[in-house]
Amino acid sequence: MSEKPIVKSADSFPADVVGAGTGTTRQVLISDQDAPNFALRRFIMEPGGGMPKHTNSVEHEQYILRGSASVGIADEIFKVTAGDAVYIPQGVPHWYDADAEEGFEFLCIVPNKEDVIQLCDNGC
Amino acid sequence: MSEKPIVKSADSFPADVVGAGTGTTRQVLISDQDAPNFALRRFIMEPGGGMPKHTNSVEHEQYILRGSASVGIADEIFKVTAGDAVYIPQGVPHWYDADAEEGFEFLCIVPNKEDVIQLCDNGC
């Protein structure tokens, strides 16, 4: 565990393709190796990109940076846009459908715990 | 502890004045009552606002949303701007001096632990 301060432009972090998504990349800005309790990640979805319905074994705290999306959480669908805060409790099925014109960019903070991801193709 | 999803515009949250700061307000977007492990807050500093040198007993993970500032962390001074990620380990002295024209706005995530704040007026 490093306990050094970090100051770094998010644009300088590598972007990894999120395999289960469409047109979606993820940057780990502050990792579970950098800090003791939680990790800060930035997701960028191209226009029309997204993630299919899935569950995570850890909760998500999110903040929308740019663009907009339809986000399904449990049985509700929300239209979210820049400046919105989103909390998805652990185990709750959710999905993302980025706006076809603007795309969608958001921060997602997760605890430093194992994250088991389950796609809901056959139900959740 | 609520385990309900939250989707809410950050602009709809009350802004509390941060007493130790100058021209600084704080919004708790996802609180320690909403989520089990960490809290998501948004700080807004008016042009020329800021926070004097202090320590916290908990770490900070931050993301700059708008504007710029000089931020002192330990013995270094950083010029930070929108899109930067910042990690301040627990106990490390730090301060903020928001840009005189633009002001400064950032997210700050902290663990759900007691946060003892100590001003460094007489050293830290």
With H, G, I as helix, E, B as strand and everything else as coil, classify residue A101.
coil
pTM: 0.96
Q: In this complex, do A87 and B59 lie within 8 Å of one another by their Cβ atoms?
A: no
- Provide the token pair at A7: 């100051």
Nearest to A87 among B6, B42, B76 (CB): B6
User: Does any CB of chain A come closer than 8 Å to the CB of residue B30?
Assistant: yes
Half-sphere exposure of B74 (CA within 13 A, CB side): 12
Half-sphere exposure of B81 (CA within 13 A, CB side): 4
CA distance A58 to B36: 10
Whole-number pLDDT of residue B123: 83
CATH superfamily name and code, B13-114 = Jelly Rolls (2.60.120.10)
**Ranges of each domain in chain B:** 13-114
Mutate to test the interface with A, among B1, B3, B4, B7 (most CBs of A within 10 A): B7
Closest CA to B93 of B55, B61, B50, B51: B55
Q: In this complex, do A84 and B40 lie within 8 Å of one another by their Cβ atoms?
A: no
Please tell me the distance in Å from B53's CA to the nearest CA on chain A.
15
CA distance A21 to A53: 10
| C-alpha distances out from residue B32 to A4, B39, B61, B75, B109, Å | 26, 6, 16, 31, 11
Facing residues of A10 across strands?
none
CA distance B64 to A98: 23
Whole-number pLDDT of residue A108: 98
Whole-number pLDDT of residue B2: 54
The residue ranking higher by pLDDT, A111 or B122, is A111
User: Is pLDDT of A2 > 60?
Assistant: no
The answer to whether A10 touches B82, Cβ cutoff 8 Å, is: no
| Average pLDDT rounded to a whole number, residues A9-31 | 96
| B89 contacts on A by Cβ (under 8 Å) | 3-5, 35
Residue pLDDT, tens place only, A30-67: 999 999 999 999 999 999 999 999 999 999 999 999 99
Residue A96's pLDDT band (cuts 50, 70, 90) = very high
Percent of chain A at pLDDT > 90 equals 94
Whole-number pLDDT of residue B3: 78
| Average pLDDT rounded to a whole number, residues A86-101 | 98
Q: In this complex, do A84 and B35 lie within 8 Å of one another by their Cβ atoms?
A: no
| A76 contacts on B by Cβ (under 8 Å) | 5
The domain A13-113 is classified under which CATH number: 1.10.10.10, 3.40.50.10860, 2.60.120.10, 3.20.20.70?
A: 2.60.120.10
CA distance B86 to B70: 12
Whole-number pLDDT of residue A84: 98
- Provide the ipTM: 0.96
pLDDT means per 10 residues in chain B (124 residues)? 85 95 98 97 98 98 98 97 98 98 98 97 85
Q: Report helix, strand and coil shares of chain A as percent, to nearest 5.
A: 0, 60, 35
The answer to whether A60 touches A39, Cβ cutoff 8 Å, is: no
User: Does any CB of chain A come closer than 8 Å to the CB of residue B14?
Assistant: no
User: Does any CB of chain B come closer than 8 Å to the CB of residue A65?
Assistant: yes
